[in-house]
Amino acid sequence: MHKQTVRYLIGGIFALVIAMGIGRFSYTVILPYMQETFEFSRATAGYLATSNYLGYLVGAWVAGRLPIGNKRILFLQITLGISILTTAFMGFTNVIIIWYLLRFISGVVSAFIFVVITSLILDQLASSSHMHLSGLFYSGVGIGIALSAVIVSPIQAVFHWNGTWIVLALFSIVLFVLIVLFIKPITPSKQLVESQIISQKTPPQSWMKWLIIAYSLEGLGYIVTGTFIVSIAQESTSFHGDAAFVWFVVGVAAIPSCIVWSKLAQRYGYVKILLISMLLQAIGIVLPALATNSMTLYASAFIFGATFMGITTVCTTLARKLAPVNSHQMIGYLTAGYALGQMIGPSIAGTLASYTNSYQYALVGASLVVMLGGLCLIGGVKYDRSN
């Protein structure tokens, strides 16, 4: 493999660790400690998550519309810097309104980073005929989640909830330096020709609307588990063990999942594998609604981790195949639909959980939404061919 491709892959993984694993998802592990300290409600926890996802929606929408083709690396570096600052500042204030603002800004830049780094890495992989390694790149989210799950509890024990945010930001700075060293501009190559050849084996562009609808429903459903699973474990009397370990299981399952789903999609067809992964995830989401013991929570965490980034991997790779020119725009629109779903999810789920004093109904609803999203893909299965 070309040295430049290896550097891009490593830099891409580190960017996902900063923006997604730490910038977005570390909130899930730190949330119970913040709730313990400030005693705010489930609904407030949901609104805080929603402000982040509203930012994510705005960032994805803007990233999809900006003509940043030849300035992607500069935009990536600026937004990574802002992401690190928003993580750090979370630890410097106790004012909820400022938390809302910080989580919003963090959401904007994490979407921007996701869209830009995805288009950079997928373009590089296509140009070097290593598209099959896209799953390796997406493992960065799982690595970031597993890392935050492992280090948050011990850091929190020493530096409390606020020091945890600051330590995570300092760690992100180290990764940022490496990203600047690894991801540098390269000259355009034959990637467009290759992409057009590959894209003939996928559904027509007119089918893209079904992919966007399905991915939007995925965003609406998956995020309920993504936001509340640690809190569900923490509050359960039949769960025994460290609630943060549930999030670690999510991260560990997510690391290899992107590679596995990517390989399966190449072999059996992208649409078919996407449908299967969404139906499997729907089962995982509903498990804690049946019982909140250790077995169901760990099983739910594992299935959730094993599917949510795999779905993103297959979706964005398929989107790039459908639209090889200006890939960041198509990925931006796809991500915006996903972001719209996940922005609405936590507020509805948090409010429903507060009203019913249980997460049960929210989980059942989320599972049905993801299942519906999967069913939207059925019409595209006929276009699948082995690649």
- 3-42: b or e for each residue (b if 16 or more CB lie within 10 Å)? eebebbbbbbbbbbbbbbbbbbbbbbbbbbbbbeeeeeeb
Q: Tell me, what's the pLDDT at 126?
A: 81
Q: Tell me, what's the pLDDT at 202?
A: 67
Mean pLDDT of 221-235: 88
Mean pLDDT of 113-128: 88
Spatial separation of the C-alpha atoms in residues 383 and 387, rounded to whole Å: 12
Looking at the chain, the whole-number percentage of residues with pLDDT higher than 90 is 43
Domain 3-182+194-383 homologous superfamily, CATH: MFS general substrate transporter like domains (1.20.1250.20)
Considering Cα of 333, then 336, then 340, then 342, what sign does the dihedral take? positive
**Contact indicator for 157, 36 with CB cutoff of 8 Å:** no
Mean pLDDT of 152-176: 92
pLDDT higher than 70, residue 5: yes
pLDDT higher than 80, residue 131: no
Extents of the domains making up the chain:
3-182+194-383
Mean pLDDT of 92-103: 92
Mean pLDDT of 334-351: 87
Spatial separation of the C-alpha atoms in residues 345 and 221, rounded to whole Å: 7
Q: How confident is the model at residue 196 (pLDDT cuts 50, 70, 90)?
A: very low
Mean pLDDT of 209-234: 91
Spatial separation of the C-alpha atoms in residues 28 and 49, rounded to whole Å: 9
Q: Tell me, what's the pLDDT at 354?
A: 86
Which one, of 84, 75, 81, 93, lies nearest residue 26 by Cα?
84
pLDDT higher than 70, residue 198: no
Spatial separation of the C-alpha atoms in residues 48 and 227, rounded to whole Å: 10
Q: Tell me, what's the pLDDT at 19?
A: 92
User: For residues 69 and 34, which has the higher predicted lDDT (pLDDT)?
Assistant: 34
Mean pLDDT of 106-110: 94
pLDDT digits (tens, 9 = 90+) for 284-305: 999 999 988 899 999 999 999 9
- Average pLDDT of the chain is 87
pLDDT digits (tens, 9 = 90+) for 319-331: 888 877 767 778 8
What pTM was computed for the model?
Answer: 0.82
